């Protein structure tokens, strides 16, 4: 087997299945497990990328983003010589 030989036979039926499962919110690993055979998470994600579905779904986790994670510049301090003396 050469490096460029396809490992998974992507039939129209399989592509329809991965489209449907991806749109249901399944992960690449779950889809690969459903398809079985030589399908791997990477092969599923690669195919989703090639057919233009990757990036259309926002990955949400249970954690909220940290509100302090971005750098927020401090406001400029007012300075006068009277305050120093």
Does residue 76 fall inside a structural domain? no
> For the chain, how many structural domains are there in total?
1
Does residue 42 fall inside a structural domain? yes
Q: What is the pLDDT of residue 75?
A: 73
State which H helix or E strand residue 84 sits in.
Answer: helix 81-84
Q: What angle do CA 20, 21, 26 make, to 5 degrees?
A: 150
- pLDDT tens digits, 18-67: 999 999 999 999 999 999 888 899 999 999 999 988 775 555 444 555 55
Does residue 84 fall inside a structural domain? no
- CA dihedral defined by 26, 44, 15, 55, rounded to 10 degrees? 70
* Alpha-carbon span 15 to 53, nearest angstrom: 11
Q: What is the pLDDT of residue 61?
A: 47
**Cβ atoms of residues 31 and 22 within 8 Å:** yes
* Alpha-carbon span 85 to 75, nearest angstrom: 23
Does residue 29 fall inside a structural domain? yes
* Alpha-carbon span 32 to 7, nearest angstrom: 13
Q: What is the pLDDT of residue 78?
A: 73
Range of the domain at 41: 1-56
For residue 9, pLDDT beyond 60: yes
Does residue 40 fall inside a structural domain? yes
Number of residues that make up the chain: 85
């Amino acid at each position: 087997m050469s490096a460029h030989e396809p490992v998974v036979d992507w039939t129209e039926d399989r592509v329809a299945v991965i489209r449907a499962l991806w749109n249901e919110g399944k992960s690449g690993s779950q889809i690969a497990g459903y398809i079985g055979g030589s399908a791997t998470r990477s092969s599923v994600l690669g195919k989703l990328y090639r057919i233009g579905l990757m990036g259309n779904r926002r990955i949400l986790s249970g954690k909220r983003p940290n509100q302090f994670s971005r750098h927020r510049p401090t406001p400029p301090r007012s300075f006068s010589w009277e305050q120093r003396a």
